Structure 1
Amino acid sequence: MMKSAALNYHHLRYFWVVAQEGSVTRAARRLGVAVQTISVQIAQLEQSLGKALLAPQGRRLVPTEAGRLALAYADQIFQLGEHMGAALRETDAGNTLRLAVGISDALPKLIAFRLMEVVFHLPQQVRLVCREGEFDTLLAELALHRLDVVLTDRPASVGGNLRVFSHPLGEFEITLFGSPALAKRYRKGFPANLGRAPMLLPTRGNALRGQVERWLESQNVAPLVVGEFEDSALLTTFGRAGLGLFPAPSVLGEDIAAQLGAEPVGVLADVRERYYAISNERRIRHPAVEAIRNAPVSWGQPEG
């Protein structure tokens, strides 16, 4: 069997830029090289791969089906190269440790802050880079080593295609909060008086949503769900406007009162939200991720 030639990343970069610009001429201007140089090297790349990567479409060059696949890999390769360069430049600035954190959009932002604030007490200075997004998207970013850790409200699936590891960070009691007017109305007689009460909940599939619904069923009450949100920050924003009661970790009561002007209505007995740090390694080596993993969570535990 014929042994395939090693990929020439210089040629691949020329293809990557042409695909972005849609023109060899514009790519040559951007790269500061001759048009002929780019044309020759892309032809050599196509020959080594045995696939045509670009095809004319009107006045533009667009990727072929094989070219789109190659472009997806090239995006990952050169974006990782840019991240590496940025990380290395940061080391020149001193003893600064870079920590790239993915924050699931279902994770309460105040909880994310509480979980991460420990890194600012490390002996080494930390530069924190936070990226918020959907759970699956963040796991893909983690697998590509664009993130050091993902903070989320659920563990990664066991036996999936991604080799990542979920590290429990603790569990937190949940309270129902509301604007002062709603809290005053529904606090007395809680929880029996929650029938038809306006409520804001996470979307279905969220770990907390199922627990809250089971708790409501156990209390034999059926509130009126007036809003469902993937983003926890958007949910609490609507809660601040007094549009409905909303669940949140009890430990955040003071923060919720200060930032949202909301008050506790009642504790959802036996409802707990669990949080996880997901990493690429079973044994965490990044000192800042290790600090998050090992930080005491007594501030998040219910009393008694």
Structure 2
Amino acid sequence: MSWLNYHHLQYFYVIATEGSIAKAAEKLRVGQPSLSTQLKQLEESIGQELFERKKQRLFLTEAGKVAYEYADQVFRLGNEMVEALSDRLQNNRVHFQIGALDSVPKHITREVLLAAYKAGNCMVSVLEGKGEELFRELTAHKMDLLVSNYTPSVDYQKLYARSIGKLDVVVCGSEKFKQLKRNFPASLEGQPFVMPTTHSKLRRDLDHFFTVNKLRVDVVAETQDSSLQLLLGQEGVGLIPVARHAVNELVKEKKIQIIGDLPGVKEEIWLTSASRRIENPIAASLMKNFKIED
């Protein structure tokens, strides 16, 4: 039975990732001659050349590509094991790490967090940001779940998304827009709007709604931050199209008014997880059971 030196495998993996022995040596803080020697020892132990040099650059051979895929799985699984074991604190509390897109209404994230505490004894870490950044973090197992209002692209094949709710969308505004309730939605013609950014599915659905109804609106601001959109709406900067679920409390407090419903326009919310050998029990429970309550 042949024996694999995992230090050599790690060195190979970093060289392949960095694209050169010089960069890998700097990252690993190992001398280049020593790194070259240990790479050679790995190649001799498996009987295959892993790199070929072209124009002073290293390129993976076919055997190198296969080795890289296996090395990637080995180190991802190792990191996952360390995370899973270290996530159990001394009081047996599970560390649950969740991401949320800026564009997801904050009360939705709050509902997910409250459900996490009901699912088990846990300590929660929340990371907010942009979609592609957070999907990459999820793929790298730097978080357990992601709350989003769109699904990951086909580039993220190891991610699994589940719809947790389709929310009715309404147009809201401050007191000065209350007269627009009459003759809605025709009354929206030419009115100022604070819209979600063009990357979101909701924005595309809104543009489609306005086109079908032959309405031209004045987009005075775009933001992917749902909290900022609500604040601008309350200040009267423009009308805001948002999930009814997100404004119920503000309507009760008379901080904002619902001008009208947008029939056929929904905001769909998703929970996304990454494929893992060792599942976080809180994440597994939410992926199986959590739904947004109407």
TM over 0.5: yes
Against the structure 1 CA distance between its residues 161 and 253, is the aligned structure 2 distance closer, same or farther, given a 3 Å change threshold? closer
Q: Secondary structure at the match of 1:91?
A: coil
Return the alpha-carbon distance in structure 2 between the equivalents of residues 138 and 24 of structure 1. Answer: 26
Q: Secondary structure at the match of 1:276?
A: strand
Return the alpha-carbon distance in structure 1 between the equivalents of residues 159 and 33 of structure 2. Answer: 45
Return the alpha-carbon distance in structure 2 between the equivalents of residues 81 and 9 of structure 1. Answer: 12
Superposition RMSD on alpha carbons, in Å? 4.4
CA shift for structure 1 position 254: 4.5
Against the structure 1 CA distance between its residues 41 and 129, is the aligned structure 2 distance closer, same or farther, given a 3 Å change threshold? farther
Against the structure 1 CA distance between its residues 8 and 199, is the aligned structure 2 distance closer, same or farther, given a 3 Å change threshold? farther
- Give ranges in structure 2 of 5+ residues lacking alignment: none
Determine if contact 1:21/1:27 at 8 Å carries over to the other structure.
no
Q: Which residue of 1 aligns with 2:121?
A: 124
CA shift for structure 1 position 247: 1.3
Against the structure 1 CA distance between its residues 151 and 23, is the aligned structure 2 distance closer, same or farther, given a 3 Å change threshold? closer
Query: TM-score, normalising length from structure 1?
Result: 0.68
**1:169 maps to 2:168:** no
* Aligned length in residues: 280
Q: Which residue of 1 aligns with 2:189?
A: 195
**1:178 maps to 2:184:** no
Q: Which residue of 2 aligns with 1:94?
A: 91
Q: Which residue of 2 aligns with 1:225?
A: 219
Return the alpha-carbon distance in structure 2 between the equivalents of residues 131 and 46 of structure 1. Answer: 43
CA shift for structure 1 position 11: 2.0
Determine if contact 2:21/2:36 at 8 Å carries over to the other structure.
no
Q: Which residue of 2 aligns with 1:210?
A: 204
Determine if contact 1:196/1:224 at 8 Å carries over to the other structure.
yes
Return the alpha-carbon distance in structure 1 between the equivalents of residues 24 and 263 of structure 2. Answer: 65
Against the structure 1 CA distance between its residues 131 and 193, is the aligned structure 2 distance closer, same or farther, given a 3 Å change threshold? closer
Q: Secondary structure at the match of 1:270?
A: strand
Against the structure 1 CA distance between its residues 258 and 82, is the aligned structure 2 distance closer, same or farther, given a 3 Å change threshold? farther
Return the alpha-carbon distance in structure 2 between the equivalents of residues 192 and 180 of structure 1. Answer: 19
Determine if contact 1:201/1:227 at 8 Å carries over to the other structure.
yes
Q: Which residue of 2 aligns with 1:112?
A: 109
Q: 1:149 aligns with which of 145, 148, 153?
A: 145
Worse overlay, 92-101 or 70-79 = 70-79
Query: TM-score, normalising length from structure 2?
Result: 0.70
Against the structure 1 CA distance between its residues 39 and 164, is the aligned structure 2 distance closer, same or farther, given a 3 Å change threshold? closer
Determine if contact 1:105/1:132 at 8 Å carries over to the other structure.
yes
Return the alpha-carbon distance in structure 2 between the equivalents of residues 199 and 24 of structure 1. Answer: 51
Return the alpha-carbon distance in structure 1 between the equivalents of residues 109 and 141 of structure 2. Answer: 20
CA shift for structure 1 position 280: 4.7
CA shift for structure 1 position 24: 7.9
Return the alpha-carbon distance in structure 2 between the equivalents of residues 251 and 7 of structure 1. Answer: 56
Q: Identity over the aligned pairs, expressed in percent?
A: 25
